[in-house]
Structure 1
Amino acid sequence: FPAIANSSLASAVGAYDMQFSLNGSSWKPVSNTAYYYTFNEMKSADSIYVFFSSNFFKQMVNLGISDINTKDLFNFRFQNTTSPESGWYEFSTSNTLIIKPRDFSISIISDEYTQTPSREGYVGSGESALDFGYIVTTSGKTAADEVLIKVTGPAQVIGGRSYCVFSSDDGKAKVPFPATLSFITRNGATKTYDAGCDDSWRDMTDALWLTTPWTDISGEVGQMDKTTVKFSIPMDNAISLRTVDDNGWFGEVSASGEIHVQATWRNIN
């Protein structure tokens, strides 16, 4: 069975953060002598596979373990149960792990730099939309390969389209409002998504990003990219003149929601 040679790392990781197998499909967790293969089982295989979880490497980074020979990281241990007095036999691999920590991040904030931006308006023909401006920022060694955005909040599908739902204080009136996400692309065109609080990701990778130099925690030079996006709720759509139950309404309605972003980097050296 394999055993982690670094005691601090062994304490930091879970049993399933390192696993081993003779066929690459049936795995055993690394947990001292609790899990092992017998000599006869090993004779039937020509390889041994070792799996490391992402948390295993995260804990290595947290403990400052990097650029290490695997022989100093873990070894394989054998015990002769026929002659226990002969003790343990150990052998190590000769590979080297080079870990380069990278700092990647994405954030979204109101262009008013407030955590809870709000708007109010009136419903009817010619009324102005409720517009919310946001700044999206990514940072990493390179530009993100993919950036996605979505809107969450009370919603209902009407006629195959998702709408944000505003409610009265007593909950009796529920009014549908369309909503959109829009941004300027690198080609200078405006891309608009129908985003009625439906919790669905939209791609904004092709937005017009402003790039500036940036240095990550490892001292590597990277880049910071910024762009803007607008979330808009039209107030002049006829569907908002009636409730989701198709009744007339008057008074005040309100809603709150969230905008989420995520970024993906691939093939980073």
Structure 2
Amino acid sequence: MNQKLGLILIGIVSSLMANLASAVAVNNDYIFIENEVDEEYFITPRKTDPRFSGANVFTKYARENQQLSLGYMGYTIVASINSNLDIWLENSPINGPFIGNRCWRSASACPNDSVVKPQFTDRNGAYKMRIATHAGEGGYIRGIFSDSFYEYMKQRPTNSTEVLTYKFCYTTNDYDPSKGERCETSTGSHRPRVNDHVFTVKKNGHIKLKSTNALQEIFVDSNGNATVGLGSEFCRNGFINSESGIMCQMVAFEMSGTVFPTMNLRMEVATDKLGFTPAAANIRYRSDDGRWYNYSATTTASNVFAPGRSDITVFFSQTFLKNLIARGVDLTNSQEFFTFAFRNSAVPQSGFYEFSPSNTILLRPRNYGISIVDKDFVQHPTRTGKVGNTEPPIEFEYIVSTSGPRQANEITAQVTGPTHRTSGGQNYCLFSSPDNKIQVPFSAFLSYVDASGRTVKERNSCGDAPMDILPARWEETPWSNAPQEGSFYRTNLKLTFPMNERQSLYSITGEDWMGVVRAQGEVRVKATWRGNDVLP
């Protein structure tokens, strides 16, 4: 009896030893980049392995060969084809750390979002991901970070260390994770392969790319001479050597710790949108240390991002500005034309990250130009309100500027956005719930004060014809330091959405509604100069 029991115990121990492997201790350091402008996160490490890097989204500028996948962690273990995979953190300090397993989005057999999705997730991990390919490194066991993972790492202090026990199991056995079944306890013809890596990761630095939502008008004449208009005063006229131009603080940041020597930075200029390629020295950038870098040059990130520094300034030369005006390039949203990019050579597959500037510049022709800016000089103003018989309206206030040798012959303003037209031909601006199940009509009105001091108010509701605002009271300011005579003309314009109209108490289907609705639109202004004195 004793001998038989001993044989059974030996068999059990032998079976367990075949399923388990000893834990591997690995370590890495990382930099956390918090992008308030684009509402994104990026983790980049000191060395390639263990993998611990990447962004929580595909940046809107990145190509597939620059950003192969979302951020992830893992090492070098490969799961067999057609196996089911579980990945989890033992006693995870993060609620739901993973959303799936990594597979390059550029590989045809991989999902377009690079995530092999699990059948089930819980507080500790992601369970039952099907390994259908080894293309695009799809067989490597590398969990894709969840948003809560980034939030957790964002909160870690600089120089703090985290110890994460990264566990995984793969098998061809079938199991139902929604019922509490797991790979490591599954039964069948294939023994589950269970392993773990103990990750020790240190936060070497934290960079916060600040969102200022600030804007600045710049009016440029046909020779490239620039005049700073209204705005948040982050631009000024300046020189580099003998070249004149405009210097603008485009990126605002805060930093603690240090960056790695493998991290590089460069400015990206969307030459396809500009319609030409500026000469290298016609656009330059620098940090607080005073050294200028051509936009096409790559520099070590530590030359720009260092403790005690707070911004990146960009120089736009007179030659560059002249080319813009000559080609009629519309720089309504400069953030789409000028961006910055990190590249970490230690992780060529996941070390790319491109981000928008903090501030926006509005470049306008000075000879015959028009501009509209929010009165508080923010790029994307937002307002909230409540619908009801006694509720106050939602209001936006703007400053409209024209620039020219004289005032324009015709100036109009128009509200644009999602629209609803009734059977009687009445236009409304259409506000919708996030799921578009609730759609509510709202009237919009534009108003100004005319030369006599009288307020002129007209309905202009996302589909109505442009409103004539030439009769407004315009304040004239002569150009200064300009080779020819001319002036800026400015007036105030108000956009109002009443919250107490009967139509807004009901959806477009005639039903009572409750919830949150929103809309996004624009106030567009247009100026026209006519006459024999108007130069081409």
State the secondary structure of the residue aligned to 2:387: coil
Structure 1 moving runs of 4+ over 4 Å: none
Alignment gaps of 5+ in structure 1 = 1-57, 63-100
Q: Distance in 2 between matches of 1:117 and 1:251?
A: 22
Task: Check conservation: 1:123, 1:235, Cα contact below 8 A.
Answer: yes
Amino acid at match of 1:117: P
Q: Which has the higher contact order (CA 8 A, sep 6+)?
A: 1
Are 1:140 and 2:404 an aligned pair?
Answer: yes
Q: Distance in 1 between matches of 2:515 and 2:366?
A: 52
Q: CA deviation at 1:183?
A: 0.3
Task: Check conservation: 1:103, 1:216, Cα contact below 8 A.
Answer: no
Partner of residue 441, structure 2:
176
Q: Distance in 1 between matches of 2:373 and 2:504?
A: 28
Partner of residue 395, structure 2:
131
Task: Check conservation: 1:141, 1:216, Cα contact below 8 A.
Answer: no
Q: CA deviation at 1:215?
A: 5.1
Partner of residue 251, structure 1:
515
Q: CA deviation at 1:216?
A: 8.3
Q: Given the superposition, is the C-alpha separation of residues 223 and 125 from structure 1 closer, same or farther in structure 2, using an over 3 Å criterion?
A: same
Task: Check conservation: 1:138, 1:226, Cα contact below 8 A.
Answer: yes
Amino acid at match of 2:447: S
Partner of residue 195, structure 1:
460
- Bigger Rg over Cα: 2
Q: Specify which of 114, 119, 125 is matched with residue 378 of structure 2.
A: 114
Q: CA deviation at 1:113?
A: 0.4
Partner of residue 206, structure 2:
none
Partner of residue 159, structure 2:
none
TM-score, scaled to structure 2: 0.31
Q: CA deviation at 1:238?
A: 0.9
Q: Specify which of 136, 144, 152 is matched with residue 416 of structure 2.
A: 152
RMSD of aligned alpha carbons: 2.1
Task: Check conservation: 1:163, 1:196, Cα contact below 8 A.
Answer: yes
Task: Check conservation: 2:429, 2:444, Cα contact below 8 A.
Answer: yes
Amino acid at match of 1:122: K
Q: Distance in 1 between matches of 2:506 and 2:442?
A: 10
Q: Distance in 2 between matches of 1:216 and 1:144?
A: 22
Alignment gaps of 5+ in structure 2 = 1-321, 327-364
Q: Given the superposition, is the C-alpha separation of residues 240 and 222 from structure 1 closer, same or farther in structure 2, using an over 3 Å criterion?
A: same
Task: Check conservation: 2:460, 2:466, Cα contact below 8 A.
Answer: no
Q: Distance in 2 between matches of 1:193 and 1:121?
A: 21
TM-score, scaled to structure 1: 0.60
Q: Distance in 2 between matches of 1:163 and 1:155?
A: 6
Task: Check conservation: 1:166, 1:176, Cα contact below 8 A.
Answer: yes
Q: CA deviation at 1:102?
A: 7.7
- Taking the TM superposition and a 5 Å limit, the aligned residue runs for 1:201-216 are 201-214=466-479
Q: Given the superposition, is the C-alpha separation of residues 102 and 257 from structure 1 closer, same or farther in structure 2, using an over 3 Å criterion?
A: closer
Task: Check conservation: 1:123, 1:240, Cα contact below 8 A.
Answer: yes
Q: CA deviation at 1:199?
A: 5.5
Task: Check conservation: 1:185, 1:207, Cα contact below 8 A.
Answer: yes
Q: Given the superposition, is the C-alpha separation of residues 115 and 107 from structure 1 closer, same or farther in structure 2, using an over 3 Å criterion?
A: same
Q: Distance in 2 between matches of 1:199 and 1:259?
A: 12
CA shift digits 1:211-264 (9 cap, x unpaired) = 1111586x1111110000000000011110100111111011000101111101
Partner of residue 234, structure 1:
498
Partner of residue 21, structure 2:
none
Are 1:103 and 2:367 an aligned pair?
Answer: yes
Task: Check conservation: 2:479, 2:486, Cα contact below 8 A.
Answer: yes
- Taking the TM superposition and a 5 Å limit, the aligned residue runs for 1:58-77 are none
Task: Report which stretch shifted further, 128-137 or 257-266.
Answer: 257-266
Q: CA deviation at 1:197?
A: 1.2
